[in-house]
Amino acid sequence: MTQANLADANFFQANLSEVILEQANLQQANLSQANLQQAQLKGANLKDANLKNANLKNANLENANLQGADLRKANLEGINFKNAIIDQTTLWSERQNNDYVP
């Protein structure tokens, strides 16, 4: 599902493994504790999204907007952040800052 408008959607604990949501609008969506392993989120708008404790292992967030997103305690192993928009409002756990953040 590309270019889907899912702003403010509630995907708490949802199984979205391998989902294709390229260029989707997920602004302010609740994706906390969701399984997004190998998700294709290229160019997605995740501004102010809640991804706390989400499984993003091997997810593709190339060109995604992560301004204000909460990624604390999320599994970021193997994630692709190429050209993602990340700024001081993006929330990380301290260990994530050292291990995965570009």
Residue spans of the domains in the chain: they are 1-90
- Overall average pLDDT of the 1-28 stretch: 96
73-102: per-residue pLDDT in tens? 999 999 999 999 999 999 988 766 555 555
> What is the radius of gyration, based on Cα positions, of the chain?
12
Q: Looking up tokens 């270019």, which residue turns up?
A: 3
pLDDT of residue 2: 79
**Where does the pLDDT of residue 32 fall: very low under 50, low under 70, confident under 90, or very high at 90 and above?**
very high
H or E stretch at 97: helix 94-99
44-73: per-residue pLDDT in tens? 999 999 999 999 999 999 999 999 999 999
Handedness of CA 18, 3, 10, 29 (dihedral sign): positive
Report yes or no: 54 and 33 within 8 Å, Cβ to Cβ: yes
Mean pLDDT of the chain: 93
> Class of 1-90 per CATH?
mainly beta
Phi, psi of 75 (to 5 degrees): -85, 110
